[in-house]
Amino acid sequence: MTLEELKTQLLALTPPEKVETMQILTHTLSNGSLGITKTPGVMGGEACIANTRLPVWLFVSLRRQGAADAELLEAYPHLSAADLVNVWTYADAHSAEIDRALQEQEDA
C-alpha cells in the first residue's frame, strides 16, 4: 500500500475509527509508555503527560494560540513527538474535560 492510498483510507474513517487509529499509532510510537496519566495530588489530578507535571490542557491552550508541534518540542526538549501525539489523541477523545480545565484556568 502506498502512502497516498493510506491517506485516502484514513480520510474515509469515521471520527471514532480515527480516534482508535490514533490510539494504535500512539501506542506504537510510544513503545508502550503510559502516555497520559492522572495522579491524585499531581496538578490537581489533571491529565498530564506521563512522568511529567505538564497538563494536557496546557498544550491544547498553546496550540490554540498558534504554537506548532515543532515549537512545542523546541520549548520542551525532554518531550518526544509521541508525547504530543498522546496529548492530541487524549484531547480529542476528552474534549469536554479539556475545555473545562481551560475554563478553570481562565477563571483563575
| Vertex 16: Cα angle to 14 and 20 (nearest 5) | 115
Residue-wise pLDDT tens digits, 8-44: 999 999 988 888 888 777 666 554 446 899 999 999 9
Cβ 79 vs Cβ 49: under 8 Å: yes
Q: Is the domain defined by 16-107 classed in CATH 3.40.50.300?
A: no
pLDDT of residue 69: 94
**Predicted local distance difference test score (pLDDT) of residue 104:** 94
Which residues are paired to 55 by β-bridges?
48
Read off φ and ψ for residue 36, nearest 5 degrees: -120, 135
pLDDT of residue 108: 86
Domain ranges of the chain: 16-107
